[in-house]
A = this chain, B = another copy of it.
């Protein structure tokens, strides 16, 4: 719920603060508080980039860890630059109920406020910063899903388009005041606009790239390729959980009046309980289904709860937030093997968490927010999904048939760390080539062998 929403759903609440705009001192305070909220909450959202980085670094095999680290930090760099070059204006400048904003570099204009007119509500750069950090999150979703096989620079090229074009265009439809917002589509902090956008882009990427070699056996077997560092993945989840308070809490978009502060309190409490519900539900599900609790499912469950509540964290009661998150946690446990059955290889569970629960969360809003309708929510989900699937397919395919998107089999077997960036993530530790954890089960080995025999390149 960006920009436009602050004039819509939260409209009434904002009014008192705008009213104060007349009496100088108070409205200056509101201006400061709104600005400070954007900055602090934006910093928390930026921190989520680190969370994604650690989660993904923990869930890939050790031979791809350095590469995924590099991807995660550099995509955040790309997000910042692209959102300055074109993203922000495409998303927010002159959308006017339409389908797209305008092109052009973004620049801060705080002349009015500096001249004592605080009706703008907040500093321009604080708003830019807060919107920009959201854009990085969508890329992070993609990186985890297509990990361990995609080429570094092709991935970064995709991020450029995602941040510069795809994300802002669809974002303009709802948060930029475009056609979806006019219809009344509600997505408070981005279950659809951020998470399922990342999810759709990741889905097309995963399909076009194909699964990691050896992941799926000929007989339909799924060969696990266990993540190399569970505490790192746990840390990443904690970071994401923490950052999410800013993601949702900052999306109140104001702190200058009591109503906004109250809303922020409710949003943060609900966000927290949805995560709790998602995690506990996922843990119980996985215990019941498999008799053991897979830690990574618990982590995914917490994230599932967070994604689920993100479309509407202000309206549910705490109990409803637990339920909304809990359903997310159940969905994720069911979705992970489902995607595997479809042979869509999602390394970290990004599709189950961000796409599936992003849709669920968006569709769940009308349960607690009477101002929304299932119909409109569905239109938003489908429209944005269709746009992102088409647009990112085009980009992935163009990349595939020009520079190529997939590391060759030999490189994939050796790991992207050696082949793409020429270094190891853990050079001092002996890694296992025998038995469990190698992620190279027998039929995989067979496949690699074949390739090795026909591809007389550098070898192992």
* Chain A residues near B (Cβ < 8 Å): 20, 23, 25-26, 28-29, 31-33, 35-40, 42-44, 46-47, 49-50, 53-54, 57-58, 61-63, 65-67, 69-70, 72-74, 76-81, 84, 105-108, 110, 113-114, 118, 122-129, 132, 152-153, 226-232, 234-235, 237-239, 241-242, 245-246, 249, 255-262, 264-266, 268-269, 272-273, 275-277, 279-280, 283, 287, 292-296, 298-299, 302, 317-319, 322, 420-432, 436-438
Contacts and interface: CB of A to CB of B under 8 A. Distances in A.
B269 A32 contact: no
B31 A234 contact: no
A293 B39 contact: no
A238 B73 contact: yes
Given A114-B262, A426-B230, A39 B268 contact: yes
A283 B226 CA distance: 30
Given A23-B25, A124-B265, A231-B54, A318 B114 contact: no
A276 B80 contact: yes
Nearest to A264: B39
Contacts of A426: 228-230, 429
Nearest to A426: B229
Contacts of A262: 35, 110, 113-114, 123-125
A47 B420 CA distance: 32
Given A66-B230, A242-B43, A31 B258 contact: yes
Contacts of A261: 31-32, 35-36, 123, 126
Given A420-B292, A421-B292, A302 B25 contact: no
Contacts of A72: 234
B81 A322 contact: yes
A122 B261 CA distance: 9
B231 A69 contact: yes
Top 10 A-B residue pairs of the complex, sorted by shortest distance between their CB atoms:
A427-B437, A50-B238, A125-B265, A123-B265, A126-B265, A80-B276, A69-B234, A77-B276, A62-B428, A25-B26
Most buried by B among A287, A319, A421, A428: A428
Contacts of A260: 32
B429 A430 contact: yes
Contacts of A46: 241-242, 245, 272
Contact of A73 (B61, B255, B279): B279
Contacts of A128: 265, 269
B295 A423 contact: yes
Contacts of A256: 32
A33 B36 contact: yes
A234 B256 CA distance: 36
